[in-house]
């Protein structure tokens, strides 16, 4: 039925790829060719996946709107629903509704430097931004600072290693920090000694000078990461209005009705699903409970 915002559209799984022991990359295409053609989104937006008879869950889009005809979702096996989805195979059908949320203001940032800071699964929505910047070529320089636990946990490992090798030719600098040492990590570190190190994501800021006047920071990671990354950026005098973060909350409806993702106090209430999930640090300063 048209006009029902809770009604999802059928999408077929084209490909399932193991990224890590916990995460899989699902490539999907809407069965209705018209929807497949018209479906577009902004980096940072999310969709709600509908597994008929079992439930729904929200998930970030990790492909770029510049690449039409399919969407990609990076799904971590973490709960009942995602465990179920991990069992699905190529050819299976799920429902998709969305895209929801505001996304990153990519057009406003054209011509600037972008500092992408990702922690763990936070790489998924930022991959959408990364691809978008590389595909459009409308941005000055892009840094990707990526903090991960171990070599096995590196999401989109092939793409990251490719960018470590060839990123500079595309105006893109990739830096990576890992926490758990392993032979593969040491090998990587030896190969890219200036850009790969053992430590946390904030260590990657060391020795890097950004043109603060012309830069935006885009952050996504676990809740604990924001405080430290933001402190690093504020120390470099990056304006709170130029720091974008994408946040996670429980989202049931995606359209600002069910009330689970509401944050704030008596002076400012926000729905993460409708007003976010992308917020500036200024929003966080003026809305309690945001981060």
Least distance between other proteins and beta carbon 290 (Å): 10
Q: Which of 142, 253, 273, 284 binds other proteins (CB under 8 A)?
A: 253
The reply on whether position 289 binds other proteins by CB under 8 A is yes
CA distance 149 to 42: 28
Is 197 assigned to a binding site?
Answer: no
Least distance between other proteins and beta carbon 272 (Å): 9
- Give the nearer residue to other proteins in terms of CB position, either 22 or 29: 22
The reply on whether position 249 binds other proteins by CB under 8 A is yes
Q: φ and ψ at 36, to 5 degrees?
A: -60, -35
The reply on whether position 149 binds other proteins by CB under 8 A is no
The reply on whether position 64 binds other proteins by CB under 8 A is no
SS (H, E, C) 258-270: CCCCEEEECCEEE
Using CB under 8 A as the binding rule, the residues of this chain from 194 to 233 that contact other proteins are 223
Least distance between other proteins and beta carbon 196 (Å): 27
Q: Which of 168, 196, 262, 277 binds other proteins (CB under 8 A)?
A: 262
- Give the nearer residue to other proteins in terms of CB position, either 91 or 207: 91
Is 261 assigned to a binding site?
Answer: yes
DSSP symbols for 147-184? EESSGGG-TTHHHHHHHHHHGGGGTEEEEEEESS--HH
Q: Which of 69, 79, 199, 241 binds other proteins (CB under 8 A)?
A: 79
Least distance between other proteins and beta carbon 121 (Å): 9
CB 168 within 8 A of CB 188: no
Is 253 assigned to a binding site?
Answer: yes
Strand partners, 245: 219, 279
Using CB under 8 A as the binding rule, the residues of this chain from 1 to 40 that contact other proteins are 1, 3-8
The reply on whether position 54 binds other proteins by CB under 8 A is yes
The reply on whether position 53 binds other proteins by CB under 8 A is yes
CA distance 141 to 217: 12
CB 77 within 8 A of CB 83: yes
Number of residues that bind other proteins (CB under 8 A): 41
Intra-chain end-to-end CA distance of the chain, in Å: 38
- Residues contributing to the annotated binding site for [2Fe-2S] cluster: 253, 258, 261, 273
The residues binding other proteins (CB under 8 A) are 1, 3-8, 52-57, 76, 78-79, 81-82, 93, 95, 223, 248-250, 252-253, 255-260, 262-267, 269, 288-289
């Amino acid at each position: 039925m048209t006009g029902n915002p809770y009604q999802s559209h059928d999408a077929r799984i084209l490909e399932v790829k193991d990224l890590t022991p916990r995460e899989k990359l699902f490539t999907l295409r809407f069965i209705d060719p018209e929807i497949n053609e018209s479906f577009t989104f902004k980096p940072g937006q999310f969709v709600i996946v509908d597994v008929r008879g079992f439930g729904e869950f929200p998930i970030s889009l990790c492909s770029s709107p510049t690449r039409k005809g399919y969407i990609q979702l990076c799904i971590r096996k973490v709960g009942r629903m995602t465990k179920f989805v991990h069992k699905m195979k190529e050819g299976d059908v799920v429902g998709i509704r969305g895209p929801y949320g505001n996304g990153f203001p990519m057009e406003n940032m054209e011509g600037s430097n972008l500092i992408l800071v990702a922690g763990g699964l936070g790489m998924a929505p930022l991959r959408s931004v990364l691809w978008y910047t590389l595909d459009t070529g409308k941005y000055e320089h892009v840094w990707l600072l990526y903090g991960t636990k171990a070599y096995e946990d590196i999401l989109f490992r092939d793409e990251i290693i490719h960018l470590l090798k060839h990123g500079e030719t595309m105006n893109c600098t990739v830096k990576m920090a890992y926490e758990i040492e392993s032979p593969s990590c040491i090998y990587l570190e030896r190969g890219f000694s200036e850009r790969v190190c053992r430590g946390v994501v904030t260590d990657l800021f060391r020795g890097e000078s950004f043109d603060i006047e012309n830069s935006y920071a885009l952050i996504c990671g676990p809740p604990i990461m924001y405080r430290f990354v933001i402190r690093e950026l504020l120390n470099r005098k990056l304006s709170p209005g130029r720091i974008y973060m994408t946040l996670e909350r429980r989202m049931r409806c995606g359209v600002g009705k069910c009330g689970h993702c509401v944050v704030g106090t008596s002076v400012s209430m926000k729905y993460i699903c409708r007003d976010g999930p992308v917020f500036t640090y200024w929003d966080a300063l003026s809305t309690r409970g945001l981060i």
